[in-house]
Each structure stands twice: as C-alpha cells, then as structure tokens.
C-alpha cells in the first residue's frame, strides 16, 4: 500500500535535485512556485541553484511550463495511470511490454531513462496538479503516484505533494480534520461526523438537491458546479459571505460583504504543504471580517431554543 | 466553594496514603477550609489528584495527518454527539480535539503534554490545543534534529546554540524540548539514519547523536527549564537496541533527562526472530541513576497508529507491514512518519513488546521516576490506561495473560517471574504525582493547600480497570467537569509555556541563516502570544545541584 510521503517546501528548496511536475502548469497556475520554492532557488545543499536540479514535466499538452523543463514527456489524455503503473514496474525491475507503453504516447526508453534519473538523484519530488487528479482515473491516479514516491524510498529519498489551489483550501481541510476527524465530505446531520466522499461531498449534495439551505464562505460554487448543483443553490436560501460579487452571490438570497482576509482582516492560511502562515491586515475596511459575521450568526442562533432533545451523553459504536 | 468529604485520599506528594479526610476547594485551588458551598459525599470512594500525562500525541500537524490517513479508524470509533454543552467529535485511535478533552477528563486526567511540536507548525499545534477543552496543556519542542542548532555545534559554538534553543522555545511557545532519534531524522532528509551514537551524522564531521544529546541536556539544565530534556533514543523499536539506550544514558550522567517511552528501547537479540526483553538490564542501570526519569510507552494488543518524528523508523515499519505510510519532513527541523499498526498477542515481537512495558513498570523500583504512558497512539490509546493499571495491580492476572502468549515468547520475557503488585498509592504516583514533579509543575499532581483543584474521585472497586475507567467525579480547576459519566462543564484549561532568557543578539545571527534556509519570512515564524489560549508562563528556575 502507498500512503503519502511528503515534506514542507523548504526541504524541496534545500535538497531537491530532481523535480517532477505531473499534470500541472505551475508557470501559469502557481506563478511563484518555481522562484520561491523549487527550481530557481539556491538551497542549503544546492548552492548552484537551477544548475543543480533536473526538472521533468509530464502533461497531455505543451504549456508555458514546458520552457522551464529539462525534459518534457507528453502523455496521451487519460493515460496517466498506465504511465505511473509502468514506472512502478520499472522501478522494481519488472519487465514492461513495449506495446503497452506506446499506447500512452511515450516510449519504453523514455520511461526507463526517467526511472534511472529518479534512482540516481539524492532527493526527488513529484508535484501533481489538477490535470492528474481530476481527469479519468481521478483519485486512482494520485494514489498511484503517491505509491510510486513511497516505493522510490527503497532506492533514494523521494516525496510527493499535490499542487493545491483555491485560497485557503488547505486550512479548511486542516480544521475539519481536527474537529471532525475527516478532511472533507463530512455530514453532521446525525449530531456526529460521518464521512463519505461521493455521497456527502458538496457537489453531490448540491446535484442531488439534498439540502434546504446553503452557507457559502471563501468559495464560488456558482462558477464551478455542474448546472443541477447551481440550480439547487438558486432554489434554496443561499447565504454568501464574500468581499466581492461572485457567480454565487448573484444567485444568493443574501450576500454579506466582508473584508478581504489577509488585506483588511487578520487570519491564518495554510500553505499547500500544510504550514500555517499568519495573515496581517495592511488596510482598513468598512466591512466586517468573515469571522465576525460567523460569530454574530452563531450568537443569534444560540439564542434560539435548542433543537436537540438528547441527554448530555452519547456514545455509539465500538471504542 | 466545595468540600469533598468521606473519601480515602491518595496524595503521595504530601505522604497521604488512603486516609479519610476532607478536601476543601475555593477559587479553583485546594484550601484549608471552606464554609458553605456544595459538599460531595465521597464515602466508599478514593480521591486522587487529577492525572497528568507526560507524553502523548493529541494535537498538531503529525496527528492531523494521521487523522486524514485513517478514515477507516474513525468510522468504527466511538462517536461524540453534539449536546447543549459539548461539541461533536470522534474518539478512537486519533481522537478529534474536543473528544480528546472529554476522553481525558472522562478518565480523571486533567493535564496533558503534547510531546512533539515543530516550530514551523507550532501555530497549528496551539490552534488544536485551543480546541481541546477541559484539560491543561503543555508541549515539547522537537529539537534533536534542528539543523540551525546542529550546524552551530559542528562549529563548536555552544553558547550560540544555547541561545538559539532558548529563542526557538520562546518563539514556539512550548514548555520544554524533546529530542527524537537525534541526528537520525536530519540524516533521513537524504534517506539515511543515525544508528551509532558516536559516529558522525551524515553531512557532519564532528556532530554525532551523542554530541546532540549531551549538549541539549546541558542546555536545558542551564536554561533552568522546569522539565528536563525529553529524549526519544536512537534505534527505537529495533532488536538489540538496549545497548544504544544504555550508552545514551551514560552520556547523560551529570544532567537531568526524561527517557520517553522506554519500552521501545529495551530490546535484546540480533533480529526480529531473536528479539527479547532486556528490561532487567535496563532497570538495573536506571535504578542507580537518579538523574533520570522515564515513561513506560507500554503496548497493549489491538489497533494502534504509530506517529513519530522518527522518519527512518517509520519507513522501516512501512516496509515490514506493507501498510499505509505517511511521511512529512519539516524543513531544517524535524520529520514525522505515520504507519497504522496492529499489535497481536500471537506475534512474537508484539508479545515481547507488551511484556517489556509492564516489566519496566514493575522492575523500576522508584515509582517517582517511571510514569504511565502508552506513547499514545503508538503503543495503545490513552483511554486504555485503566487496562494497564489493572495489570499492574494483579500479578495473577498478568500470569494468566502470559500463558496465552506464544510458547516461544516465554523464554524471552521476565513478566511471569515478577510478583510486585502496585498499590493505589503507587498508582497515584505514576499517573499524577510523579509526572507532575518531573514536569516541574508545582501546582499539579497533589492535593495540598495551594494546589490546583484538579481531582479525580473513583468508586472503590477491586477491578482496577472498572474503577479507573469511570470516575464518579472529576474536578478541573475546582469545577465539576465530569459527574456520573457525564460531561458537566467544559471550561477551557490553560496552556503552560516557558520563555527562557537569551541574548537578543542571537536574532542577528539567526535572521540571515533563516532567510537562506526557510521558505517563510523570519517575522512570520514565531507563534504570536494571542494564539496560545489561556497562556501561563512557567518560571525557568531549575538549578543544578552542586
Ligand atoms: Zn511519542
């Protein structure tokens, strides 16, 4: 089995002499990534910076990031899983069928060369983007890639990390984990946390229309959800907290304008490597912060009579 | 105001051994007398100072990583329902923060020490501790693989290293420091380990694990920190590691040290097939060296999640078990590894581990120097402590359990030969009075006038497990937090931190090094005081006796 073998970004900066980006376009989507954390940085053990590092890019098409790469491997769309599986076999020294590899758009020699480089490096890292985890195969692709990184540790140091985006998604993930035990897709309707991605994830609930109110904070589902989900948001009372007008705020029943966290109100953001950063306001805003609005809503709700008629204890299941 | 009357009081710090006497409480403290207020009739009950867990993993990046990695554990774990007074949550191997507070308090524990905090993610740890209700908290900062400190030791700059350590403790708002596999985790950053105490660490010429251990122990004592260096030795879990542990202890003569989860460091044999208990040899040395304290790190059969900063060990465990593996290396400071694990009574290695934990608790003759822990959730979950207490109190039950082990295990362990049975007085020491003293928390672990009114009251019962699993009342800071198995008050506890003094010029040295080696700005690195909920600064007043 795999798991997740990772590190904070400073380790990449200080040590990574082999950097593989898979299914992402950091040059455009994470514009500071190359310069701040990875290929362009001089590190404690890489005083020569860019020259000391090999960068490989795997993607289905040529993007702006290709220019930054030493090696570009163009995979046929939907064939990521097959490529990773072939790599895992080659890493273990197993025979791989040439014809099967060619279906992916790559040649066996290219993969063997990649594996040789991976084994030769002192510290390898794989960053994988949405192109990998959101296409055919979905979480199976990420799982295979994470397993590849884990297995590489039998030969040399290797880590892997998803390229996450969307503001403070890592922060939301962290808080959900320590309060509910699960990172996302959590349902609290029974008074305790249940987890089932595919059933309780936001997109599933919205598409099925299983909700009768929506509270949207730091996201714009009206821009990204499938149409049936958007229809649900328009049908039910939707409340949006956002500094600006968004697709979601336009279809919401209530839009409360809040100050921008990190510019006008303080807070904490978690980096994609799950390192917390304090946010300090630099400007004043006439609007309240998200936190203040949420607190006031909680205070108002608490004035209502409790709806849970349960005794003060409850333990079910097995310890 | 409150009076507890009629209970048998076990207050070892004040030499009180089961005497029936009243305990009076006002303003959160134990006082000599009160007039009026509530009276708790504790007839037929025993009264203990609230439990103190000196080494546990309940909050922060590593534990939160483990939660995400093991949703299958959460699914079968105890559920905590939202009520008027309590938040929802999940128990199990890696409880959610609110559940952690309820579970500890529900067992009579009122102070817990989160044992492994990196500076880089200390903000996160404090956020989780803020969401851990009822209990008081403190944490240890991971220091045995901090490259800033190691680089200074390589240059022979002891004083600068000392000021750096003090600065880092102040920046992270922790109570003490912990060294985990000193040098080994730093070496793991390039896939290596540090197995020999006296061989240079990969990437260094002079610094070896021994250098780090000896210098950190000295630094902690010179800074006057109330708690000694907390040490997780090299070669954790490996057959034959007792020699490393003994060598390490010898380095510590002349300084204080707390040996964490000693069970995992007390094995003989050459490989997994010949692994055996070396508890007798280790206890013999330990018994004659009063500079040391330790916690058991006992193992119980069943599911666990191993979580440690010891990255190379976790890689080995991943290869041995073929189960999931989580790893998170933290730039310049430390690492962390997570592997779910099941201890099986039928497995020879696990049988030895189970026996060793109990053997150390029975063979180390001074209960003031060994404390009850399971290195939660590594050896077992903290909420299983009552099972261990029961075994400590009954030699016959231990022998019965030994008989169920594989035949091959019997010649490798000593447990069946040990007749010692813990008294209630001794249980109060290893669960409360002892750890409080080792932590230098003068207001904890006792019931004398002036102590924090953290008190656990149990129905006296010959079944130690039943007795200690379900306290009749638990008071935290003088308030009834638990009564008849229900959470009654969830007032937040304090967090204790130390702010050892350092030469402010150390920042001039640290800043440029930091800009080079880290990926956040120096100004964003320290934890802001506002982030630490209920912060209480403890004095750094330890003085080495001449
Ligand atoms: Zn531990």
Looking at residue B544, its pLDDT comes to: 85
Mean model confidence pLDDT for chain A: 90
Alpha-carbon gap, residue A49 to A12, rounded angstroms: 12
- Domain B47-441+449-495 is of which CATH architecture? Alpha-Beta Barrel (3.20)
A312 pLDDT band (50/70/90 cuts)? very low
Beta-strand pair B473-476/B455-459: antiparallel
Phi-psi region of A308 (alpha: psi -120 to 50; beta: other; left: phi over 0): beta
Chain A residues whose CB is inside 8 A of the B83 CB are 308, 310-314
Distance from CA of A276 to the nearest CA of B (A): 6
Looking at residue A316, its pLDDT comes to: 42
Chain B residues whose CB is inside 8 A of the A150 CB are 318, 325, 327
Looking at residue A317, its pLDDT comes to: 38
Mean model confidence pLDDT for chain B: 96
Whether pLDDT at B12 is above 80: yes
* Of the partner residues A192, A276, A314, the one whose CB lies closest to the CB of residue B121: A276
Beta-strand pair A18-22/A123-128: parallel
Given a contact cutoff of 8 angstroms between Cβ atoms, the answer to whether A274 and B121 are in contact is yes
B72 contacts chain A (CB < 8 A): no
* Cβ <8 Å between A306 and B85: no
A260-291 pLDDT, tens digit per residue, is 998 999 999 999 999 999 999 999 999 999 99
Whether pLDDT at B85 is above 90: no
Q: What is the mean pLDDT of residues B528-543?
A: 95
B-chain residue closest to A143, CA distance: B324
Beta-strand pair B455-459/B45-49: antiparallel
Q: How much distance in Å is there from the Cα of B308 to the middle of ligand 1?
A: 6
How many other CB atoms are found less than 10 A from the CB of residue A211? 15
Distance from CA of B153 to the nearest CA of A (A): 17
Q: How much distance in Å is there from the Cα of B116 to the middle of ligand 1?
A: 7
B-chain residue closest to A33, CA distance: B519
Residues within 8 A of A (CB atoms), B 319-358 only: 319, 322-332, 335, 338-339
Which H/E stretch holds residue B300?
none
Whole-prediction pTM value? 0.95
Q: What is the mean pLDDT of residues A62-77?
A: 93
Least confident of A18-32, A207-221, A249-263, B492-506: A18-32
Alpha-carbon gap, residue B121 to A195, rounded angstroms: 26
Residues with CB under 5 A from ligand 1 (ion): B 115, 375
Q: How much distance in Å is there from the Cα of B51 to the middle of ligand 1?
A: 18
Given a contact cutoff of 8 angstroms between Cβ atoms, the answer to whether B344 and A23 are in contact is no
The values of phi and psi at residue B51, to 5°, are -65, 150
Determine the residue among B73, B83, B513 to mutate to test chain A binding: the one whose Cβ has the most chain A Cβ atoms within 10 Å.
B83
Q: How far is CA B374 from the centre of its chain?
A: 8
Looking at residue B485, its pLDDT comes to: 85
* Cβ <8 Å between A181 and B67: yes
A-chain residue closest to B121, CA distance: A275
B51 pLDDT band (50/70/90 cuts)? very high
Q: Which two tokens stand for residue A24?
A: 């992402």
* Cβ <8 Å between A312 and B121: no
Distance from CA of B510 to the nearest CA of A (A): 15
Given a contact cutoff of 8 angstroms between Cβ atoms, the answer to whether B325 and B338 are in contact is yes
Least confident of A211-215, A300-304, B285-289, B420-424: A300-304
Helix axes B122-130, A169-180, angle to 10 degrees: 40
Chain B residues whose CB is inside 8 A of the A36 CB are 519
CA distances in angstroms from B206 to A199, A245, B185, B189, B354, listed in the order given: 57, 60, 17, 19, 38
Q: Is the peptide bond before B377 cis (omega within 30 degrees of 0)?
A: yes
Q: How much distance in Å is there from the Cα of B55 to the middle of ligand 1?
A: 6
Looking at residue A133, its pLDDT comes to: 66
A309 contacts chain B (CB < 8 A): no
B243-293 pLDDT, tens digit per residue, is 999 999 999 999 999 999 999 999 999 999 999 999 999 999 999 999 999
With a CB cutoff of 8 Å and minimum separation 6, the contacts of B472 are B42, B45, B457, B458, B459, B483, B484
**A-to-B residue pairs, Cβ atoms closer than 8 angstroms:** 201
Secondary structure class of A163 (helix, strand, coil) = coil
Least confident of A298-307, B352-361, B395-404, B422-431: A298-307
A127-136 pLDDT, tens digit per residue, is 998 777 666 6
Residue with the two structure tokens 């959590």: A186
Determine the residue among B62, B65, B71 to mutate to test chain A binding: the one whose Cβ has the most chain A Cβ atoms within 10 Å.
B71
Q: Which two tokens stand for residue B213?
A: 């251990």
| Structural domains for chain A | 9-162 (3.40.228.10), 169-303 (3.40.50.740)
Distance from CA of B288 to the nearest CA of A (A): 40
A274 contacts chain B (CB < 8 A): yes
CA distances in angstroms from B124 to B87, B131, B171, listed in the order given: 20, 11, 14
Residues within 8 A of B (CB atoms), A 211-250 only: none
A318 contacts chain B (CB < 8 A): yes
Question: What is the DSSP secondary-structure string of A21-54?
Answer: EES--HHHHSTTHHHHTSTT--BTTBTTGGGG-E
Q: Which residue in B106, B3, B140, B118 sits closest to B61, CA to CA?
A: B118
Looking at residue A309, its pLDDT comes to: 55
How far is the first Cα of chain A from the last one, in angstroms, to the nearest whole number?
26
B335 pLDDT band (50/70/90 cuts)? very high
Q: How much distance in Å is there from the Cα of B54 to the middle of ligand 1?
A: 10
Looking at residue A319, its pLDDT comes to: 35
Question: What is the DSSP secondary-structure string of B205-217?
Answer: SS--HHHHHHHHH
Q: What is the mean pLDDT of residues A121-141?
A: 82
Domain boundaries, chain B: 47-441+449-495
- A102-107 — which CB contacts under 8 Å span 24+ positions? A103/A76, A103/A79, A104/A75, A104/A76, A104/A79, A105/A74, A105/A75, A105/A76, A105/A79, A106/A73, A106/A74, A106/A75
Q: Which residue in B173, B180, B184, B177 sits closest to B161, CA to CA?
A: B177
């Amino acid at each position: 089995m795999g798991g997740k073998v990772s590190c904070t970004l400073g380790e990449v900066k200080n040590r990574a002499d082999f950097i593989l980006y898979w299914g992402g376009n950091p040059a455009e989507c994470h514009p500071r990534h190359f310069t701040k954390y990875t290929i362009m940085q001089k590190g404690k053990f890489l005083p020569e910076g860019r020259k000391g590092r090999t960068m490989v890019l795997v993607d289905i098409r040529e993007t702006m990031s290709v220019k930054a790469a030493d090696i570009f491997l163009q995979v046929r769309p939907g064939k990521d899983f097959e490529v990773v599986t072939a790599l895992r076999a080659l890493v273990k020294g197993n025979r791989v069928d040439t014809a099967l590899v060619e279906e992916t758009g790559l040649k066996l020699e290219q993969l063997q060369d990649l594996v040789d480089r991976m084994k030769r490096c002192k510290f390898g890292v794989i960053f994988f983007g949405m192109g990998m985890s959101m296409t055919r195969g979905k979480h199976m692709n990420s799982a295979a890639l994470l397993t590849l990184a884990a297995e590489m540790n039998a030969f040399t140091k290797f880590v892997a990390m998803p390229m996450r985006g969307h503001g403070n998604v890592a922060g939301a993930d962290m808080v959900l984990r320590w309060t509910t035990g699960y990172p996302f897709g959590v349902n609290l309707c029974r008074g305790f946390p249940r987890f089932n991605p595919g059933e309780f994830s936001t997109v599933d609930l919205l598409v099925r229309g299983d909700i009768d109110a929506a509270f949207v904070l730091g996201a714009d589902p009206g821009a990204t959800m499938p149409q049936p989900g958007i229809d649900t948001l328009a049908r039910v009372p939707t409340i949006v907290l956002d500094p600006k007008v968004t697709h979601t705020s336009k279809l919401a029943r209530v839009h409360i304008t809040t100050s921008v966290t990190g510019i006008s109100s303080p807070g904490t953001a978690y980096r994609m490597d799950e390192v917390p950063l304090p946010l300090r306001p630099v400007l004043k805003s006439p609007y309240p912060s998200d936190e203040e609005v949420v607190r006031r809503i909680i205070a108002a709700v608490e004035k209502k009579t409790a709806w849970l008629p349960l005794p003060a204890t409850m333990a079910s299941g097995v310890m | 105001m409150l009076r507890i009357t009629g209970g048998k009081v076990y207050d070892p710090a004040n030499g009180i051994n089961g005497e029936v006497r009243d305990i009076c409480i006002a303003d959160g403290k134990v006082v000599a007398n009160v007039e009026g207020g509530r009276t708790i009739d504790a007839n037929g009950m025993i009264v203990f100072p609230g439990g103190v867990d000196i080494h546990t993993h309940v909050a922060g990046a590593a534990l939160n990583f483990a939660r995400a990695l093991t949703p299958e554990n959460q699914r079968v774990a105890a559920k905590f329902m939202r009520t008027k007074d309590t938040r929802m949550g999940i128990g199990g191997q890696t409880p959610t923060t609110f559940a952690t507070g309820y579970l500890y308090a529900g067992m009579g524990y009122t102070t817990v020490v989160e044992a492994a905090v990196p500076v880089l993610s200390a903000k996160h740890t404090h956020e989780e501790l803020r969401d851990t209700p009822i209990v008081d908290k403190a944490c240890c900062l991971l220091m045995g693989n901090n490259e800033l400190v190691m680089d200074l030791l390589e240059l022979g700059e002891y004083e600068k290293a000392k000021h750096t350590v003090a600065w880092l403790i102040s920046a992270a708002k922790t109570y003490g420091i912990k060294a985990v596999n000193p040098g080994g985790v730093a070496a793991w950053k390039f896939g290596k380990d540090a197995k020999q105490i006296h061989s240079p660490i990969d990437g260094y010429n002079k610094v070896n694990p021994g250098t780090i251990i000896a210098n950190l122990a000295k630094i902690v004592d010179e800074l006057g920190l109330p708690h000694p260096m907390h040490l997780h030795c090299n070669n954790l879990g490996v057959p034959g590691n007792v020699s490393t542990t003994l060598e390490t202890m010898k380095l510590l003569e002349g300084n204080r040290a707390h040996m964490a989860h000693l069970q995992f460091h007390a094995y003989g044999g050459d490989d997994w097939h010949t692994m055996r208990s070396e508890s007798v040899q280790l206890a013999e040395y330990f018994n004659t060296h009063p500079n040391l304290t330790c916690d058991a790190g006992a193992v119980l059969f069943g599911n666990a999640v191993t979580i440690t900063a010891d990255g190379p060990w976790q890689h080995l465990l991943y290869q041995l078990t073929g189960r999931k593996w989580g790893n998170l290396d933290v730039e310049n400071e430390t690492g962390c590894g997570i592997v779910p694990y099941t201890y099986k009574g039928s497995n020879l290695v696990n049988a030895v581990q189970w026996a060793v934990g109990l053997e150390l608790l029975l063979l180390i003759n001074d209960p003031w120097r060994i404390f009850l822990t399971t290195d939660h959730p590594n050896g077992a979950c903290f909420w299983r402590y009552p099972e261990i207490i029961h075994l400590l109190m009954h030699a016959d039950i231990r022998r019965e359990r030994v008989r169920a082990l594989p035949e091959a295990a019997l010649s490798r362990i000593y447990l069946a030969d040990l007749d010692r049975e813990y008294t209630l007085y001794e249980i109060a020491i290893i669960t409360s009075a002892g750890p409080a003293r080792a932590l230098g928390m003068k207001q904890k672990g006792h019931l004398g006038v002036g102590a924090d009114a953290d008190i656990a009251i149990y129905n006296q019962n010959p079944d130690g497990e039943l007795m200690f699993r379900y306290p009749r009342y638990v008071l935290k800071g003088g308030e009834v937090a638990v009564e008849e198995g229900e959470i009654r008050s969830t007032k937040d506890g304090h967090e204790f931190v130390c702010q050892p003094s350092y030469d402010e010029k150390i920042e001039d040295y640290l800043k440029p090094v930091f800009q080079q080696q880290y990926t956040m700005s120096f100004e964003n690195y320290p934890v802001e005081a506002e982030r630490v909920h209920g912060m209480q600064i403890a004095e750094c007043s330890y003085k080495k006796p001449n």
